[in-house]
Amino acid sequence: NLLTCVSTIDAKVPLLFVIEGATVRKYETEVGILCIEGRPQHVFQDSSFACIVIFPDPADNLILRFDSEKLREYWMVKIATCSHQMVRAQLDETAYKFYTMGKQEADIEEPNSVNSFYLTNPYKVSHNFAISQQNNLPSRRVSFAETMSESKLSIVLPLELVKLYKKWITDFAALLESRQHRWPSFAISGLHDVLREVRENSETLEQSAEFLHNYSGPPFRKSMEKHRVAFAPVPTNLHVHSSVVDQRATQSVISCGTASALPLRFQVATLTK
């Protein structure tokens, strides 16, 4: 029976123990008294946490020292139970958990502050199935859970963007009006047309902002309303899909429906999507 100890911090040569006919016990040093001229002067004791591995040949005995009592106890148990039967039992336990892993009875998930802040209305579906294996191994059970959630940002961000667009277009209209006297006479009619289009579009943005501010439905735009002007900045059917396999691997995917381009009274352009 072999036991290998490899350093994980410093680059050192690993130790290889041949555990055969050996025993392990705590190594307690005796109290020593230093005598000078027949009188005791100092009392000393080795307070390190150590254990001794005793072999049939006393010359082969090995003293191991550790930094704490807990670490010493851990390695004493490790050395004392190092055997072929123990390793085989650990291997069988690991293989059983791996090949027969299924859905846990208690469906307890750790709260995620980020998800709870941005996501809402989760809808969860669980699937359990088995995968056949070769070499006479039992079928492996797999638990797959998918959660589809709505994103609160689907309404929050478009509302803030509409407010920003409204400010930009208002500033643009004010700039055009303040510089009307600088335009040549032949361009005044065109300037008035631009101002009219800008004011109409500003009114549309105002209506959209008012609608989104008072909106209390699901935080996404349904397919049947994808051509609604007030919903123009809101993504269609945007959801976040989170997948969990055997309570370990997690992956999130964002899905969205077809985007629509609404003219908003412009002839050849739309709002920035």
If asked whether residues 235 and 180 sit together in one domain, one would say yes
Question: Do 259 and 180 belong to one domain?
Answer: yes
Q: What is the pLDDT of residue 101?
A: 58
- In degrees, rounded to 5, the angle at the alpha carbon of residue 205 between the alpha carbons of residues 202 and 211 is 145
Q: Do 232 and 116 share a domain, yes or no?
A: yes
Domain that includes residue 16, residue range? 2-82
pLDDT at 171: 92
Residue 74 in any domain: the answer is yes
Cβ neighbors of 201 (< 8 A, separation 6 or more) are 169, 264, 265, 266
Within a domain: residue 94?
no
Instruction: Indicate whether 17 and 114 sit together in one domain.
Output: no
Q: Are residues 159 and 241 in the same domain?
A: yes
54 and 188 in a single domain? The answer is no
Asked if residue 32 is part of any domain, the answer here is: yes
The answer to whether residues 127 and 248 belong to one domain is: yes
pLDDT of residue 99: 65
**158 and 260 share one domain:** yes
Structural domain count of the chain: 2
Looking at 82, 116, 145, which one is the last position of a domain? 82
My answer on whether 227 and 262 are in the same domain is yes
Nearest to 199 by CA among 214, 177, 178, 184: 177
Q: Are residues 60 and 149 in the same domain?
A: no
Confidence (pLDDT) at 46: 54
**pTM greater than 0.75:** no
pLDDT given for residue 178 in this prediction = 87
Give dist(CA 200, CA 31) in Å, integer: 96
Q: Is position 93 within any domain? A: no
- Domain check: are 154 and 34 in the same one? no
* Alpha-carbon span 51 to 77, nearest angstrom: 11
**177 lies in the same domain as 235:** yes
| Tokens 């349904």 belong to residue | 222
User: For the chain (length 273 residues), average pLDDT per consecutive 10?
Assistant: 68 70 77 51 59 84 85 86 75 71 49 73 84 71 84 88 91 87 83 87 88 86 79 82 78 77 51 40
Integer Cα distance of 240 and 188 in angstroms: 50
